[in-house]
Amino acid sequence: MKIGILTQHRSGHTAYEQHLSVVTRLPVVPEFDINKKDFATYLTNLPDSCVFSVMPRPDVPDLMHNTKGIQWRVLLRKDILKQCLSFVYTNTTQEFRKTQTQKVVVDKTLVNDFFENYKIIQQVVSKGTFDIFYYEDLELSKAYYKKSTSDYESLITNIVEVKRQIKNNISCP
């Protein structure tokens, strides 16, 4: 069995993978992200049984719909604001799995990057083909990574501009 998770960074997908791996006894394989070039080749080279995550790219929706033998899921966050703030902050500091304390100015264009990926996932969701899970609703007791308690709003020094950029992206179709 192969379980594929379409998600975005800072969604809790690593904890979800860990939990699924313990429950199903399937190994977790490295995610498909920006560092990998060809999604079709990635899918072809997967082991017969595994759990894996896929970060959105333009070719992902078509290949998901045309690939057999994978139990696809979509993992979302209800709190898009917090997810986006976590994304821009951690991409600035390159610290992903610890409690954050450093105050930083983040690059507002990272907000646009986040929402480009968000739109691709929404394209998949709109087809209604795959099960959708929300991180906030999952009981992930088998995962060893736990939810971040970092207060990104207090850590991003240009928070007003960043939140304005997020609001502009949310209000655009």
Q: Read off the pLDDT of residues 3-39 as tens digits, 9 standing for 90 and up.
A: 999 999 888 788 899 889 989 999 999 888 766 678 8
Here the CATH number for the domain that contains residue 150 is: 3.40.50
H-helix or E-strand containing 140? none
What is d(CA 10, CA 85) in angstroms, rounded to the nearest whole number? 9
Residue predicted with more confidence, 121 or 90: 121
Q: Which domain holds residue 73?
A: 2-171
Q: Which of 145, 160, 155 is nearest to 100 (CA)?
A: 155
Q: Is the dihedral of CA 165, 167, 168, 173 positive or negative?
A: positive
Residue 46, classified by CB atoms within 10 Å of its CB into exposed (0-12), middle (13-18) or buried (19+), is middle
Q: Which of 18, 16, 164 is nearest to 85 (CA)?
A: 164
The mean per-residue pLDDT over the stretch 142-162 comes to: 79
Predicted pLDDT of residue 57: 87
Q: Read off the pLDDT of residues 51-69 as tens digits, 9 standing for 90 and up.
A: 999 999 888 898 898 888 9
Count: domains in the chain = 1
pTM of the model: 0.86
Output the average pLDDT for the chain.
87
Q: 63-88 burial, b for 16+ CB within 10 Å, e for fewer? A: ebeebeebebbbbbbeebebbbbbbb
